Structures are given as C-alpha cells and as structure tokens.
Chains A and B, each alone.
Chain A
C-alpha cells in the first residue's frame, strides 16, 4: 500500500512567520513530488513541483526533497493570511509508457493569524 503521510494540523502561525509543512512517503521508487494548495470549498491548485534532492525556491515558497529519508517539505516565508488553506502533498511513481499514479496525502490545514 503506497502511502503519503501529512500532519493534519491545524498549523497556526502568525503573519510574517515561516510556515513549515512536512510530508513523508512510503514508496522509495517515487520520482515526482508536488505541493497543491486547496482553499476551503475550492479545487486543488499546484504551487510547487520538485523532482530531485535539494531545495527549489519560487518566490516565498521553498520545496525541499530528501529521497533517502523519503521526506518532502514546503516552507512558506513571510506567511500571509491569504496563505490560509489546506496544503496537499502528492507523490508520483512512474511505471513507464503512459502509466504513473499520483497519490495525495490528506493535507495539512494552515492558518495564518493577522
């Protein structure tokens, strides 16, 4: 059973602080890693993708990947109230051809307090 685990939260941080969201996955062969943001009552939208070990930065967001530890994280710097949402970690295993499955964690709810 392939699993993606996230702390459900809620994670509460003050405005301007760094929010740190974590995710672990069970399948060592996983190759692609994504963070989606989902506002309440809305659909998920991609904010970051990462494919190799290390850090990837995009504006206030930094994704970190450690395949040896099977660990993915998302850092949000200078958190804003508008960042309050549920963050879904997704992990993909590519089987070849056109086959590959994206498995989502249940998400971490982030609340940024003004």
Chain B
C-alpha cells in the first residue's frame, strides 16, 4: 500500500493568495483527518471526515479555511486568503475506525510558508 499521499510537499506563497492542499487516504480507510503542526501550538486537529462526511470542524481556525472530501479517495484543504500565521506543516491522516479505536496513518505533510 502506498500510504497516505499528500501534495504538494512544500508550498511557498504570498499573503492573500489561495492555497489548496491535497490528500489521498489509504484505500479502505473510512476516516480522514487534517492536522496542523507548529512549534507554538503543537499538532492540532482541524477537521475530520467519516465516509466523506465532515464530522467535526471545530478546529478549523476561521472562515478562511475550508475542507472537502468529494469521494473516498480524495480530500482538499483550502485557505483563502492565506496569511503569514498560517505557515505550518499540514498533515493528513487516515484510519479504518475512529481516532478512539484505531491507528492513524499520517501522510508526509505539506510545509506551507506564507510570506
């Protein structure tokens, strides 16, 4: 199995630009999670999906962030407009069961820098 795939691996953009991060979960995994990691705040859950349906988006920082999962093999996290404080590593993870009962498999992450 290829594991969780994320693209791009690195993204450098200017403040105000739209950024789209992409994720392909492991086949057969019903749960998909988006996290953000910074030195100051650690690893934070932004949103997660079960069977393509968003279950909890309470971690999404503000309306500039949106996430979609149009099918079982693809999800996007969009930031519009981007700001320097959005600079972080964004991880996508997937699991067969929910976070309380199963291993989450993390993708390699997207390192986002907003200038």
Q: For residue A104, give the distance in angstroms from its CB to the closest CB of chain B.
A: 4
CA of A87 to CA of B55 in the docked complex: distance in angstroms?
Answer: 27
Q: For residue B96, give the distance in angstroms from its CB to the closest CB of chain A.
A: 12
Question: Which residue of A has the minimal Cβ distance to B107?
Answer: A43
Residues of A within 8 A of B45 (CB): 101-104
Q: Are B106 and A106 in contact (CB under 8 A)?
A: no
Indicate whether A106 sits within 8 Å of B42 (C-beta atoms), given known contacts A98-B55, A98-B98: yes
CA of A46 to CA of B21 in the docked complex: distance in angstroms?
Answer: 24
Number of interface residues of B (CB under 8 A): 21
For the A-B complex, the count of residue pairs with Cβ-Cβ distances under 8 Å equals 54
What 11 new A-B contacts, CB under 8 Å, besides A43-B107, A94-B98, A94-B101?
A32-B100, A43-B91, A43-B106, A92-B99, A99-B55, A99-B98, A101-B45, A102-B33, A102-B45, A102-B100, A102-B104
A residues engaging B (CB < 8 A)? 31-32, 42-46, 49, 88, 92-94, 98-107
B residues engaging A (CB < 8 A)? 31, 33, 41-45, 50, 55-56, 91, 98-101, 103-104, 106-109
25 residue pairs A–B, Cβ–Cβ below 8 Å = A32-B100, A32-B101, A42-B108, A43-B108, A46-B104, A49-B103, A88-B43, A92-B99, A92-B100, A94-B98, A98-B31, A98-B98, A99-B56, A100-B100, A101-B99, A102-B33, A102-B45, A102-B100, A103-B45, A104-B43, A104-B44, A104-B45, A105-B42, A107-B42, A107-B43
